[in-house]
């Protein structure tokens, strides 16, 4: 597993989830439900999980451990992106480093919410499931090594 590739793919996935998926889900009326159980939020979590599953497929996680590692990297990439975006937003609005220092203690309580747990779940569970499923299909090749991917070098 290439860590650099996992971070880059997770960053692209985080961008897609935070912009494209959020934009599409915003078309659903916000009425009904309470708290985390609104139709918008439930749809967002389902579509985000499917997106992570497709991204794990694109990343080609080889086994549940690789899928788990990719999901954890995706989760931490999303959290660090939120931190950097928050700091950049405060810097852009105030132009003051002292205001950034005053808001940094708020990031801990921001992480201690149900939304962070949901974020971890929709990154880690689908990626791990894809890796496990991908690994469970390996015995079907009759003990032969899998076919090389397009563009790979070297003989298998």
Residue 147 confidence (pLDDT) above 60: no
Res 47: pLDDT: 94
Residue 153 inside a domain? The answer is no
Residue 146 confidence (pLDDT) above 60: no
Residue 86 CA to residue 107 CA, distance in Å, equals: 9
Residue 48 inside a domain? The answer is yes
Query: What is the C-alpha radius of gyration for the chain, rounded to an integer number of angstroms?
Result: 19
**How many domains are contained in the chain?**
1
Residue 95 inside a domain? The answer is yes
Residue 108 inside a domain? The answer is yes
Residue 147 inside a domain? The answer is no
**In 10 A of CB 127, how many CB atoms?**
32
Band (pLDDT 50/70/90 cuts) for residue 137 is low
Helix (H) or strand (E) holding 41: helix 39-59
Residue 151 inside a domain? The answer is no
In contact, 41 and 26? CB cutoff 8 Å: no
Residue 44 inside a domain? The answer is yes
Residue 24 CA to residue 48 CA, distance in Å, equals: 11
Residue 6 CA to residue 68 CA, distance in Å, equals: 11
Domain residues for the domain of 122 are 3-138
Band (pLDDT 50/70/90 cuts) for residue 53 is very high
Residue 148 inside a domain? The answer is no
């Amino acid at each position: 597993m290439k860590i650099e590739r996992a971070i880059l793919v997770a960053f692209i996935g985080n961008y897609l989830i935070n912009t494209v998926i959020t934009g599409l889900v915003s078309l659903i009326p916000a009425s009904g439900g309470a708290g985390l159980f609104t139709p918008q939020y439930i749809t967002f979590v389902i579509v985000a999980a499917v997106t992570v599953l497709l991204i794990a497929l694109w990343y080609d996680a080889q086994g549940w451990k690789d899928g788990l590692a990719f999901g954890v990297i995706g989760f931490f990439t999303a959290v660090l992106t939120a931190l950097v975006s928050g700091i950049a937003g405060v810097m852009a609005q105030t132009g003051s480093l002292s205001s950034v220092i005053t808001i940094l203690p708020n990031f801990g309580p921001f992480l201690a919410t149900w939304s962070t747990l949901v974020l971890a779940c929709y990154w880690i569970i689908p990626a791990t499931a894809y890796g496990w499923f991908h690994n469970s299909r390996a015995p079907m090749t009759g003990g032969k090594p899998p076919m090389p991917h397009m563009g790979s070098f070297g003989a298998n």
